Amino acid sequence: MDLQLARHSAIITGGASGIGLATANAFASEGCSVAIWDLSPDVETIAAGIAKTHGVNAIGLKVDAVDLAAVQRAFELTLARFNTVEHVVHCAATGSKKFGFPFTNLEPADWPRTLEINIMGMVNIAHAATEAMMRAKQGTFVFLASVAGQIGSQTDPPYSASKAANINFAQCMAKDLARHGIRVNTVCPGMVQSPLNRSVWQAWHDQTPEAERLSYDAWAEQKIKTVVPLGRWQTADDIAAMIVFLSSEKTRQVTGQTINVDGGFVMHW
């Protein structure tokens, strides 16, 4: 499908791996220029690979989303390179890296870093990009949240709470920016094999009695069969396809929405 994104430009935070990288490739495959913002030391090399593979303009910038000044500088550099930025996708996030069931397994000190990255990172990105989009009277934001932000997932309460905040703030933004022609939506993955998902298993594994422990594959298969009606993993490419679709004119009437790509996970609840 031609999503008419050629000659557009997109910023993807957390774009050096996982869903962010899949999203960068999906935009590039549509002929869209991409700016990858990530803390990875390989971000420039990864961007160069995307440029070579898809024949598009691509840059990689090392950016910490919680550093507002760094985010603002990165946006200015990106705008100078591309002249316009039509699309912003925020994928950068973290979990507490501890097993949070029950929540008393955690201490209050386990919360701030996750909230800072997942909430204030989103806020910084929004503030850095919005003024230019308002001047252009067009643009899209897509924020990566999680089904954990809708169902109160107990495995990592700080992560779940932060993703609920992502969904809520995206709706606030959508209401504020609609009159400027800017659309804002949230995509919620379900079960994706990723470093973040594996860290949830690791936290569970480390605090579980040895006789009850499962390998990552066994734990994941059991969970998929239990909670996902379609009975299979979602992939990074599945999520990226929805993100890029929501960024296109095919969805010009869609804003303030939370779209689940979860194999029916939330329906199950």
The bridge status of strand 33-38 relative to strand 182-189 is: unpaired
Give, as one character, the DSSP assignment of residue 234.
B
Q: Which helix (H) or strand (E) holds 124?
A: helix 121-136
R_g (Cα) of the chain, nearest Å? 18
| Residue of 159, 169, 201, 219 with catalytic role | 159
Q: How far apart are CA 234 and CA 242, in angstroms?
A: 12
| CA distance from start to end of the chain | 33
Q: How far apart are CA 138 and CA 178, in angstroms?
A: 9
- Check whether the bond before 102 is cis (ω within 30° of 0): yes
Q: How far apart are CA 21 and CA 236, in angstroms?
A: 8
Amino acid at 212: E
Q: How far apart are CA 241 and CA 115, in angstroms?
A: 27
Which of 16, 74, 26, 23 is closest to 46 using CA atoms?
16
Q: How is 157-199 classified by DSSP, letter by letter? A: HHHHHHHHHHHHHHHHHHHHHGGGTEEEEEEEE-SB-SHHHHH
Catalytic, 216? Answer: no
Catalytic positions are 159
